[in-house]
Amino acid sequence: MKAASLLALAGCGVLSGCASPRVLNVTPSGQGTAAAPCVAVVEGRRIPLDAFPAFARRWRGREAHLAGGAGTPYRCFGRIIYELQRAGFQRIGFISEPAAASDTHP
């Protein structure tokens, strides 16, 4: 979904006169296991989730968008959403690509 569409869904557009917030774009990665723990990827930097809350607090009061593929477990999204809420984020967008039709139905 394009940024303009996200702003329109949020009721924030050119005609409403609201300023566009600085958005923290986060991509969850990993499998949520000991061998492949969940991490947050921000601007190409992999941030372990135990260090993510302190990192996210630098954007307190701003908006975050999470984007991930069909192979990313929801536990990774959930943990990042939880940490963003704890860091004071008021608006968190969730964008996920669905599995291809051939992947879901034989």
Nearest of 45, 24, 29 to residue 88 by alpha carbon:
24
Tell me whether strands 45-48 and 39-42 are parallel, antiparallel or unpaired. Answer: antiparallel
Proportion of the chain above pLDDT 90, given as a percent: 43
- Tell me the mean pLDDT in the region 90-105: 72
The domain segmentation of the chain, as residue ranges, is 25-99
SS3 letters across 47-96? EECCCHHHHHHHHCCCEEEEEECCCCCHHHHHHHHHHHHHCCCCEEEEEE
Q: What is the pLDDT of residues 45-83, one digit of tens each?
A: 999 999 999 999 887 567 999 998 778 888 999 999 999
Query: What are the strands of the beta sheet with 39-42, ordered from one edge?
Result: 45-48, 39-42, 23-29, 63-68, 91-96
pLDDT in tens, 84-96: 998 889 899 988 7
| Coil, helix or strand at residue 3 | helix
